[in-house]
């Protein structure tokens, strides 16, 4: 990784999570052949798959409180 790239990364990591997500989306959009619709379609498929698994009892619900507590542990 070049020095310039390292500096960009350092600045990017100092952004808020929302700003980093927006930055990542714009970087992805910059690649030739990247199809946002395809990306959105894949996320929709994943969501539907999880809903189906939940409805069939293959996936358990987790409270938002527990989810956020687990996220805090990862920091």
pLDDT higher than threshold 80 for residue 69: yes
pTM assigned to the model: 0.44
Concatenated DSSP letters of 7-60: HHHHHHHTS-HHHHHHHHHHHHHTSTT--HHHHHHHHHHHHHHHHHHHHTTSS-
What Rg value do the Cα atoms of the chain yield, rounded?
17
Q: In the predicted model, what is the mean pLDDT of the chain?
A: 89
Q: What is the pLDDT of residues 3-35, one digit of tens each?
A: 999 999 999 999 999 999 999 988 887 876 656
Rounded CA separation 58/2 (Å): 46
């Amino acid at each position: 990784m070049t020095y310039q790239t390292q500096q960009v990364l350092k600045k990017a990591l100092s952004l808020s999570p929302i700003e980093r997500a927006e930055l990542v989306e714009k970087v992805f959009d910059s690649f030739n052949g990247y199809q946002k619709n395809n990306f959105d379609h894949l996320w929709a498929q994943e969501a539907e798959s999880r809903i189906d698994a939940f409805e069939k009892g293959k996936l358990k619900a987790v409270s938002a409180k527990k989810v956020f507590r687990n996220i805090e542990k990862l920091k």
